[in-house]
Amino acid sequence: MKITPAEVTALSLSIKVALFSLVIMFPPGLLIGWLLAKRTFPGKSFLNTLVMCPLVLPPIVSGYLLLILLGKHGVIGGFIYETFGIEIVFSQLAVIIAVSIISFPLLVRGIVTGMESVPLELENAARTLGASPLKVFWTITFPLAHRGIIGGTILGFSKSLGEFGATIMVAGNIPGKTQTVALAIFSAVHLGEDASVYRLVFISTLVAFIALWLTERFTLR
Amino acid sequence: MADNPKIRLNFRKSLGNFTLRVNCTLETKVSAFLGVSGSGKSTLLNCVSGTLTPDEGEIAFGDEILYASAAGINLPPEKRRFGYVFQEGYLFPHLTVAQNIRYGQPNPRKSSDAIGVLEISELLQRYPKELSGGQRQRVAIARALAMEPRMLLMDEPLAALDSALKDRIIPYLHHVKEVFEIPILYITHTFSEAMALADEAFLIADGEIMANGEPHRLLTAPSAMPIAQMTGVENILFLPVTDSNKARGLTALEIGSQSLIIPYIDVEVGEVVPVAIRAEDIIIALEPDISVSARNILPGKIQYLDVRSERTWLSILVEWHHLAVKITHEARDQLQLKEGSEVYCVMKASAINILWD
């Protein structure tokens, strides 16, 4: 199996994007996961729905909405273009944004499940022992929720690796720039490059399988 | 205890359609709140610990105000420094016993005191899941003590344990009471624990304090009968040993001018031991000279008779001890029992349990 440089570029972009997205989304994921699992506040179900939306929306729809928001004439994209002169759409940044939005619900879901499994009584016990809410979070809630957090992280990461619909809408399919593995497979199928399709499909399947298997190992025990 | 800080509780807390209303001052070393589940006693403890916020009122520890709705004061639990021992222990499962005890950034001297008093030095490297129920509870008590608390809050610390284990933990609690010079607020649904540990007991039902006072007086008084009916009652007596005969397997205790025979225990003559007799294990007879195998036939006088539930409850004065006795309505009718009747309390030696030794 000989992998071409173009395929390597697509693969490394996918991995780079997935890692970036994870690093960016993990802190807000932790905060929102904690809010949803442990707090009651007005607008909680709205926040939950908003975060989970990309899970049920067709990715192509999420991508289109992002395109409208981030485009040169969009609310966010327009502002950024005016202020910094940066165009977001059809850039690697757009890939990262698209992938982050789509994988975020999986990350948050895992974190919420993990944190909900930590009994409030344990956290209260820690409070009575003199721990501030922040100390309780880092020494009790976070370590005891680790299975759910790892599970959500792995699922979110693998979702990021293979994201297609939103990416192609908002970042296009530019080889060497915004073409991730999923988009490379799409192009290869269209161009009839069967060998390339097989290689990329094999690698994608392998990665997905390993990720799921790791999730099972960490969460179901 | 000369300088026990007074703990002032005066607050209201509603949860759903249940309302807890408390207005009392705790002045003794160990105060017990006694009530059935749903009476509001855990809610009370959570309000004191700060894990639950009352709707209005005031909670003060000595001169320090912990909660005052009018002034907008509400000290968070981590600032109150009250050690809390939960019914389920709630040890941190991912930390060893030693790490659990260290969690509250304890005073090293206090932690070693706590480890010593509760005899858990062998367990320090284990994880909570490797401990038995009794060990877990001892570690939970040590963890609460190690942070050098100003007060100890105990929410049914023995309820999850079987009765044999309970009897083994109670001596530890006594030891804690002696060694650590702090007030203890103890919540329980069993008379025997309240009697065994508390200096003052509060009866709580439907979110209100019904009565309070010295446990021995309070818990055998007619006012305690309705609660006794719900919780199941054991009579607890503290009696001196007058004779102990290993060969015959019996020990005699002094109850006024009478003797109470119990299974043999290895204690010195003159030592006072606490014994428990369940209310349903006492048989009532009208004549003393009946032929029965039971070793104890003690004369007494019915002081109070309560017929409101499916059993008749008697409060019988034997010497100066009040005994709660539970019999059927049929038995009461047949023996024609009423207040003031002279009766005999018949008890098997084996029905009398030593609470600890």
- Proportion of chain B above pLDDT 90, given as a percent: 41
> Domain B235-354: which CATH class?
mainly beta
Q: What are the structure tokens assigned to B14, written together?
A: 């509603």
Contact B90 A119 (CB under 8 A): yes
Least confident of A23-27, A179-183, B59-63, B301-305: B301-305
- HEC string of B284-296 equals EECCCCCCCCCCE
According to the model, what pLDDT value does residue B357 have?
39
CB atoms within 10 A of CB A220: 8
The residue with greater pLDDT, B219 or A46, is A46
Structural domain including A154 reads 5-219
Q: List all residues 6 or more positions away from A46 whose beta carbon is below 8 Å from its beta carbon.
A: none
pLDDT tens digit sequence for B206-232 = 899 988 888 766 765 655 555 555 555
Residue A16, amino acid? K
Structure tokens at A160: 């990021």
Question: B279, B233 in Cβ contact below 8 A?
Answer: yes
In three-state secondary structure terms, B1 is coil
Query: Which residues of chain B lie closer than 8 angstroms to A127, CB-CB?
Result: 50-51, 76-78
CATH assignment of the domain containing A97: 1.10.3720.10
* ipTM score of complex: 0.83
| Region B7-229: CATH code | 3.40.50.300
Whether the pLDDT of residue A31 is over 50: the answer is yes
Contact between residue B35 and residue B41 where contact means Cβ atoms under 8 Å apart: yes
What does the pLDDT read at residue B2?
46
Contact B86 A127 (CB under 8 A): no
Q: What confidence score (pLDDT) does residue B355 get? A: 65
- Give me chain B's average pLDDT, please: 86
Q: What is the CB neighbour count within 10 angstroms for residue B292? A: 11
* Assigned token pair, A70: 């981030």
pLDDT, residue B197, reads 83
Looking at residue B49, what is its pLDDT? 96
Lowest mean pLDDT among A161-170, B2-11, B329-338: B2-11
Map out the domains of chain B as residue ranges: 7-229, 235-354
**Which residues are bridge partners to B59 per DSSP?**
B9, B67
Structurally, how many domains does chain A consist of?
Answer: 1
Confidence of residue B1 (pLDDT cuts 50, 70, 90): very low
Mutate: best of A38, A117, A121, A129, partner B, most B CBs <10 A: A129
Least confident of B63-72, B105-114, B216-225: B216-225
**Other C-beta atoms lying within 10 Å of the C-beta of residue B265:** 16
Q: Does B304 touch chain A (CB under 8 A)?
A: no
- Listed by number, the residues of chain B in 103-142 with a beta carbon closer than 8 Å to a beta carbon of chain A are 103-105
Residues of A at the B interface, defined by Cβ within 8 angstroms: 119, 121-122, 124-132, 139-140, 143-144
Phi first, then psi: what are they for B4, rounded to 5°?
-70, 125
User: Helices A92-116 and A146-162 sit at what angle, rounded to 10 degrees?
Assistant: 150
N-to-C CA span, chain B: 25
Q: What is the pLDDT averaged over residues A18-26?
A: 95
Instruction: Give the whole-angstrom CA distance, residue B235 versus residue B195.
Output: 9
